[in-house]
């Protein structure tokens, strides 16, 4: 149903002006309030005492709930319950988000009222709204939901609580518990919704890898080098990679144990890594199949540091370029491709010389392409182990390399293994 139809509905039910109802409705929906909740709240505002819906909808197993269900009654175990603050119509509104499970499956929920949900609680939610989010059904527990706590818990094949490793976190995860070392941390002043406010941002690390974070309400325990346990954090995308958000509802405590950051960082297939949509810390192994244009000796704009062509910056026009070294190498492992981007230091390694050497080589040849050509000769066709930050967006899959090392794997041995494999299958 379109917003217009919803407004029509409400206006005729409540006997008020449609345009007025519509603008209220629009307002709420713009602030991410689900349309059913928004209608409910407007019914209250315009004084319709009757609760919409009437009879309690039928009970459903979690696995059977579909985005087409308007309202359902469902019984399940609360796996996670994380508080978060959103703002609409100028007011802060605390919501609780998490996951609910029965023995058939798991579903995300959002509670718009404080029902006092905690992980491990078994609840029956009568008349819970269902909405579609990213193609999946999600439960909305609001004022029209009758919620009761049950004595007996069904056995659910899922872990209660939100314990997670950084490498497993994905955008949209809520109420997660992590144990991390603060690898980097800086205090910044931002222009927040309530004026200037201080936040902390940096990088967390655990055995599985690293992720950037923002701490919106600076916790004294979060300082560089410190190991902490954080409960009730959530994950949002920022600049193409997931970011851990530590809010005023998160709890942060010092941790006694040491954390060996990155000890278990997993090497992923290129295809698998790209499908995640972006990872802060990942390692892939693949062949360099080409070195793209814009590699080798390049010039950057002194103002914005972007790469310039023929002394022209797209934003700043005619500028005196600053010389730099860079490589954009296409890496392929048979499952997919990505572009590994090497900074000046890594480029010096693969070029086998410094920026001054490159400038001299270009001067002698009267062509700066010779630098990229020499890099091509040295790396194309070889296998590398690349670790860094992967972002996947409209510019493609780019892996900002922190390390770029020729793989120790003996390619001949791998070729032999491949041939044997092919023979077995033949």
Span interacting with Zn ion, options 62-70, 93-101, 142-150, 316-324, rule CB under 5 A: 316-324
Nearer to Zn ion, 303 or 367 (CB): 303
Q: Taking the CA atoms of the chain, what radius of gyration do you get in angstroms?
A: 27
Q: How many residues contact Zn ion, by CB under 5 A?
A: 6
- Cα distances from 105 to residues 102, 161, 168, 176, 195, in angstroms, run 6, 16, 19, 19, 43
Question: Pick from 253, 304, 322, 415: which binds Zn ion (CB under 5 A)?
Answer: 304
Q: For the CB of residue 400, give the shortest distance to Zn ion in the complex, in Å.
A: 20
Question: Pick from 259, 313, 342, 372: which binds Zn ion (CB under 5 A)?
Answer: 313
Span interacting with Zn ion, options 151-159, 208-216, 310-318, 324-332, rule CB under 5 A: 310-318
Window 149-168: residues binding Zn ion (CB under 5 A): none
| Cα 82 to Cα 103: distance, rounded to the nearest angstrom | 22
Question: Pick from 259, 274, 301, 329: which binds Zn ion (CB under 5 A)?
Answer: 301
298 belongs to the binding site for Zn ion (CB under 5 A): no
Span interacting with Zn ion, options 36-44, 303-311, 340-348, 392-400, rule CB under 5 A: 303-311
316 belongs to the binding site for Zn ion (CB under 5 A): yes
Window 200-259: residues binding Zn ion (CB under 5 A): none
Span interacting with Zn ion, options 77-85, 191-199, 296-304, 402-410, rule CB under 5 A: 296-304
Q: Cβ-count burial of 378 within 10 angstroms (0-12 exposed, 13-18 middle, 19+ buried)?
A: middle
DSSP per residue, 78-108? EEEEEEEEEEETTEEEEEEEEEEEETTEEEE
Q: Where are the alpha helices (DSSP H) in 302-383?
A: 344-351, 355-365, 369-379
Span interacting with Zn ion, options 22-30, 81-89, 299-307, 348-356, rule CB under 5 A: 299-307
Strand partners, 288: 331
- Cα distances from 151 to residues 59, 77, 124, 198, in angstroms, run 18, 11, 11, 44
Residue 34: strand, helix, or coil: coil
Q: For the CB of residue 302, give the shortest distance to Zn ion in the complex, in Å.
A: 8
Nearer to Zn ion, 32 or 312 (CB): 312
Residue at shortest CB range from Zn ion: 301
| Cα 251 to Cα 246: distance, rounded to the nearest angstrom | 8
| Cα 88 to Cα 86: distance, rounded to the nearest angstrom | 7
Question: Pick from 303, 393, 410, 420: which binds Zn ion (CB under 5 A)?
Answer: 303
Residues that bind Zn ion (CB under 5 A): 301, 303-304, 313, 315-316
């Amino acid at each position: 149903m379109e917003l217009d139809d919803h407004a029509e509905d409400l206006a005729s039910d409540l006997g008020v002006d449609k345009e007025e109802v519509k603008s209220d409705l629009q307002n709420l929906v713009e602030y991410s309030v689900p349309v059913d909740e928004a209608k409910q709240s407007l019914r209250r505002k315009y004084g319709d005492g009757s609760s919409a819906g009437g009879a309690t909808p039928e009970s459903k197993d979690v696995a059977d709930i579909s985005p087409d269900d308007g309202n359902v009654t469902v019984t399940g175990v609360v796996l996670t319950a994380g508080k978060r603050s959103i703002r609409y119509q100028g007011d802060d509104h605390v919501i609780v988000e998490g996951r609910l499970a029965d023995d058939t499956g798991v579903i995300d929920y959002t509670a718009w009222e404080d029902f006092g949900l905690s992980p491990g609680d078994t609840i029956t939610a009568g008349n819970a709204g269902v909405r579609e989010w990213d193609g999946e059904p999600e439960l909305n527990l609001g004022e029209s939901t009758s919620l009761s706590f049950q004595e007996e818990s069904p056995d659910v094949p899922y872990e209660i609580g939100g314990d997670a490793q950084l490498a497993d976190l994905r955008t949209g995860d809520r109420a997660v518990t992590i144990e991390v070392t603060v690898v980097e941390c800086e205090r910044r002043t931002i222009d927040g919704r309530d004026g200037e406010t201080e936040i902390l941002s940096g990088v967390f690390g655990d055995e599985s890898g690293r992720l950037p974070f923002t701490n919106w309400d600076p916790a004294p325990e979060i300082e560089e080098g410190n190991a902490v346990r954080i409960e009730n954090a959530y994950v949002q995308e920022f600049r193409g990679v997931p970011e851990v958000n530590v809010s005023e509802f998160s709890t942060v405590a010092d941790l006694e144990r040491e954390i060996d950051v990155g000890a278990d960082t997993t090497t992923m297939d290129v295809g698998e890594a790209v499908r995640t949509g972006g990872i802060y810390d990942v390692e892939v192994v693949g062949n360099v199949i080409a070195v793209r244009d814009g590699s080798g000796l390049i010039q950057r704009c002194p103002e914005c540091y972007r790469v310039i062509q023929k002394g022209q910056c797209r934003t700043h026009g005619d500028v005196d370029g600053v010389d730099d070294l860079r490589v954009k190498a296409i890496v392929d492992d048979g499952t997919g491709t990505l572009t590994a981007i090497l900074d000046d230091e890594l480029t010096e390694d693969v070029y086998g010389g410094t920026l001054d050497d490159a400038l001299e080589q270009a001067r002698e040849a009267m062509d700066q392409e010779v630098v990229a050509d020499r890099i091509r000769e040295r790396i194309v066709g070889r296998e590398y182990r690349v670790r860094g930050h992967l972002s996947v967006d409209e510019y493609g899959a780019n892996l900002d390399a922190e390390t770029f090392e020729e793989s120790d794997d003996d390619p001949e041995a791998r070729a032999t293994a491949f041939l044997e494999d092919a023979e077995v299958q033949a």
